[in-house]
Amino acid sequence: MIPPPHVYTLAVLLFGLGVFGFLRHRNAIMLLMSVELMLNSANLSFLAAARAHGDSDGAMMPMFLIVVAAAEAAVGLALILILFRKRQTLDIEVPRSLKD
């Protein structure tokens, strides 16, 4: 079994990588992937805490977060598809409105 501090360190590194990707990229798909990475690092933290405390109820929060991440990905990809069809780009700085 991997010690919990190692898992927490990995989760923090993954979260930091997600934040860096979110702040660094202007591509809408990369932003969506960065948010997914941050959500998965939160899942990893919850699962590590549940395992460290011997509580099987701690696995319920990651299941909820997986559902939220799936809904967020579906809505995000739909918006990205609309953005690409209207503006022919995935750069989030180019379109200022979707009124067209």
- Residue pLDDT, tens place only, 4-35: 899 999 999 999 999 999 999 888 899 999 99
Output the pLDDT for position 39.
93
Tokens of 38: 């941050």
Burial pattern 34-69, b for ≥16 Cβ within 10 A else e, equals bbbbbbbbbbbbbbbbbbeeeeeebeebbeebeeeb
Output the pLDDT for position 92.
77
Measured over the CA atoms of residue 97, residue 21, residue 72 and residue 90, the dihedral's sign is positive
Question: What are the angstrom distances between the C-alpha of 87 and each of 25, 43, 79?
Answer: 18, 35, 12
Instruction: Look at the pTM and tell me if it is higher than 0.85.
Output: no
Domains of the chain: 4-87 (1.10.287.3510)
**What integer is the mean pLDDT of 50-62?**
85
d(CA 93, CA 10): 32
Burial pattern 7-16, b for ≥16 Cβ within 10 A else e, equals beeebeebbe
